[in-house]
Amino acid sequence: MTGEISPMPLRYPDRLYINGSWVAPSAGAAIDVVDSASEELCLRVAAAQPADTHRAIAAARDAFDNGPWPRMTHADRAACLRKFAAELRLRAADVGQLWPRESGALHALAEPFTKSAAAEWEFYADLASTFPFEERAKPLAGGEFGLIVREPVGVVGAIIPWNGPLGSLSHKVAPALLAGCTVVLKAAPEAPGLPLIAAEVADDIGLPPGVLNVITADREVSEILVTDPRVDKISFTGSTAAGRRIASLCGARIARCTLELGGKSAAIVLDDADLEGAADTLVAAECILSGQVCYSLTRIVVTRSRQDELVAALADRFAQVTVGDPYDPRTQVGPLASQTQLKRVNGYITRGLEEGATLVTGGRRPLGLDRGYYVEPTVFANVNNSDTIAREEIFGPVLSVIPVADEADAVRVANDTIYGLNASVFTPDADRARAVAGRLRTGTVGHNAMRTDLALGFGGFKQSGIGREGGAEGLRNYLEHKAIILDDVPSAYRE
């Protein structure tokens, strides 16, 4: 790895964004980001130290307690969200320079993902005029006038992962700002570029100081954000292991938290499903972000009599997938994000072989790709649901095909997991799909596809998380419910 850094579309990579200003880290510390395709140093950013994190928290606290933001109308805050969306759309090319290098995402995804993130900011802006922030209610235990008011929860610590940072920060920051909260956004050290773009956008549109603060830090420094009593709520997306730690720290001080955690999602392929079509869909879905997707359908549950046919179709399609440079328009699967992630995925492939699963295709470094964090898309057959590769989140392009006796057994296996984030049912019969969906313990169930829809809310059962992101449910994460009961009707509410 060389010490030279290619030009990147960031104005202040050596700064943190705190209280409306770009400030140097207190100790001059830095984080090196390595290009996932070349293994070369591509970016060096400021690393927040404890003093910097405390400074960011203080700025957010003061902005909430004393600044104009929480006292603005929802319509005025919505106007700022619309400005943010408009500016963000203009940064799609910059996203395309950063995201593939940091996370291995295909360059072709940069523009549609940026547009999708901008649309989410606009979605929350639209809620300013439709969401019931205030409702009259008849008191039943005394008093003449009742009012339910939904007020901002306060200072939010938003902690996002490296795989889809622009989407993750949008899911958290947009509703929090509409609600009237102030935010400290903590970027993952592996992928700080897109959060820094968000900070630049906030600066460009003139958000009041302290409303959005952006820092990059390691886990130890991040725990300050979780434990500081000045932070009212933590919103975290990441691994279940990290989520357990955050939940325990929040529980110690009864802090609010929303956790969007891991998954080991099942695709149930029923006995009337089109296997060729199912294979096309599952392979295409697993190519997204090289399988580094929390809601990826990685457990393929199929009746034993149809396993061989489905496995052959999956293997045939994976063998034709082009793995390579994320900037090459012919590439369908780019590299994994890091050396750590590559080691993790290879370790699971080895474990699958050791535990007796059948490696059908993949499992190696692709020929001709000697540098970069690449692994071939991989299919295991004859996987037992008790195997490690069926139980633990791999976060790479590895599918485990699990044979079962019948539909009832398929539902049992799909539910036999600590996770409950996503699922899909493959069948031409919508009534049958609906019936199976009703028996699955998971936050989203798709039909013949890997489906999620933020407008409907996204999150998991069991150890896949607490709460929902997206839609009106995502806004409620950042609101407190207050009941006001008065002896008479205030003048503003008299007809």
Cα 119 to Cα 419: distance, rounded to the nearest angstrom: 29
CA dist 378 → 163, 192, 318 (Å): 20, 29, 7
Structure tokens at 40: 């070369």
Q: For this structure, is 294 an active site residue?
A: yes
Residues with Cβ within 8 Å of residue 253, at least 6 apart in sequence: 227, 229
- Determine which one of 42, 80, 287, 294 is catalytic: 294
Helix/strand number for the chain, H first, E second: 15, 20
Burial of 40 (0-12, 13-18, 19+ CB in 10 A): middle
- Determine which one of 87, 102, 190, 260 is catalytic: 260
Q: For this structure, is 260 an active site residue?
A: yes
231 touches 65 (CB < 8 A): no
Three-class DSSP labels, 200-269 = HHHHHHCCCCCCEEEEECCHHHHHHHHHCCCCCEEEEECCHHHHHHHHHHHHHCCCEEEEECCCCEEEEE
Burial of 278 (0-12, 13-18, 19+ CB in 10 A): buried
Phi, psi at residue 99, to the nearest 5°?
Answer: -60, -45
Q: Where are the alpha helices (DSSP H) in 385-485?
A: 388-391, 407-415, 430-437, 471-476
Query: Which residues are catalytically annotated?
Result: 260, 294
